Amino acid sequence: MWSLIFALLIAILIAAFASLNSTMISVNFIFWSAPVVSLALVILLSVLLGVILATLFELPQYFKTMRKIRALERKAKSSPGEAINYEEEKR
C-alpha cells in the first residue's frame, strides 16, 4: 500500500515538474535529431524509458529469487523436521 502511495506521489511530482517546463526544444542525440517538441514530453518520455530499463535490468534477479524461493518451499515441504532443527541450531 505504501509503495503505491509513494509511486503516485512521485508521478504527481514528475507531472508537475514537466508541466512547468513546457517550452519547445529541439532534441539532438548522436546522429539523430528530433523535430521541435515540448520539454514536458521529453521529460515524461525519459522517465518512462528509465522505468522500463530499470524493470528490464531487475527481471533476471527477480526470476532468480523466485526460483530460489520455490526450491526452498519444496525442500521445506519434503522435510519439515530439518526446518525445525535449523531454527534450533540457530539459537
Q: How confident is the model at residue 88 (pLDDT cuts 50, 70, 90)?
A: low
Q: How confident is the model at residue 19 (pLDDT cuts 50, 70, 90)?
A: confident
pLDDT at 58: 94
Residue that the C-alpha cell 534450533 belongs to: 88
Residue range 17-31: average pLDDT?
83
Give φ, ψ of 12 to 5 degrees.
Answer: -65, -40
Taking the complete model, does pTM exceed 0.85, yes or no? no
Separation between Cα atoms, residue 40 and residue 22, nearest integer Å: 5
Write out pLDDT tens, residues 27-81: 888 888 888 888 888 888 888 899 899 999 999 999 999 999 998 888 888 876 6
Q: What are the structural domain ranges in the chain? A: 2-90
Q: How confident is the model at residue 20 (pLDDT cuts 50, 70, 90)?
A: confident
